[in-house]
Structure 1
Amino acid sequence: MKTQTINKKQIINAYNNGQSLNAIAKEFHTYATSIKRILEKENVELRHDSKRAGQLYVKDGEKLIEWAKAQKRLVTKTELAHVIGRKKLSPSYFEKYPELGRYVTTREQSELQIYSQKLYDWLQKTGIQYKPNDRTKINMSVTALLLGEYEGLALQIHIKPKCISKKQYEERVKAKVRKASKSGIFIIWLNKDHFENLDSTIGLLNAFKK
């Protein structure tokens, strides 16, 4: 079988976006067992392993958020890993649950997590209803799906994660816009400049609300 240079970050990203082991293996001209070993080595929780353990894949993320909230302080990634019986916490948890970053010490947060926390804090302060990191509407995550008065709108932080290439990020943005349009969702993209005065975002929300 012809092999292709294995990029661990691309594999993790593909798996977190719902691709199967077989699909990823085909893309990299290798075997599903090889992809599985890479994911296990990088501490990415495999979906089928979670099901065999009698719990859904997404439940660990929810469990970590509830535990972190209960501590009444900022926690470390090591502490979170121990909660679910691991030595190291996979970055996939923070990609699927940006809200989790709100409870982790700042020195351990990525730039994207810090901006997500700022956005969620602002939404709570202004009383705007939202669902963090929602995937139900367009089958791709948006930073915040707005509810109530602003139903039909979503806020997405427009910052490229370090773990993917510029081309991959641009393709993801296009796919997200396309799927959102088909689902009747309008995405407002927030770059770093918007965070200098988040209150100005209210004007954008009012301009585009239905």
Structure 2
Amino acid sequence: MKTLLLIRSSLLLGNGQSNRLADRYVAAWQAAHPEGRVVVRDLATHPVPHLDLARVGAFSTPAEQRTPEQQALVAESDALIAELQSADVVALGLPLYNFGIPSTLKAYFDHIARAGVTFRYTAAGAEGLVKGKQVLVFAARGGLYQGQPHDTQTPYVRNFLGFLGMTDVRFVFAEGLNMGEEPRREGLRAAEADIDALLEPVAA
């Protein structure tokens, strides 16, 4: 049975276009995989705590030396990692906030990036340990950023996922959403067409 992990990060919840685009894909994925399982991680309704000294200390302390308090902190990260590792497909709804990703998503990234757990350093360099997954990123932007120097979000997300071993990453962009009614319609239409194109091999 295949598992899809849906990660929502828009603060607008059901009104967020990145969430809506991700939901469109997930609905079609479910139709193509009626026996599949969908796990939802909504970072707006259930935000992950940001890193602090206590959490960093717990992560870096050997398991056998952790206090009960440290074990509880690590358990939160372990659960997120296990959830990710169990997924075959990851769908990420990604809004653009001030040229970057939502802080809640950054906190999530900080919890799943663990040396010796999701990546390791070898003589040949870093090796990601989260492998064999397809990641689909549904990016919604108010302006036009794709392919421009000021789009720092796309390479950051791609590089981060690749560092953990997730190299099969595809982006669907909906842009110009705050530039007027016509650009908004065109941006959403283009994104929906891209999603439909992604679904063709899934349905097959």
Q: Would you call these one fold, judging by a TM-score over 0.5? A: no
The structure richer in helix per residue is 1
Q: TM-score, normalised by structure 2?
A: 0.31
Q: Which has the higher contact order (CA 8 A, sep 6+)?
A: 2
The structure richer in strand per residue is 2
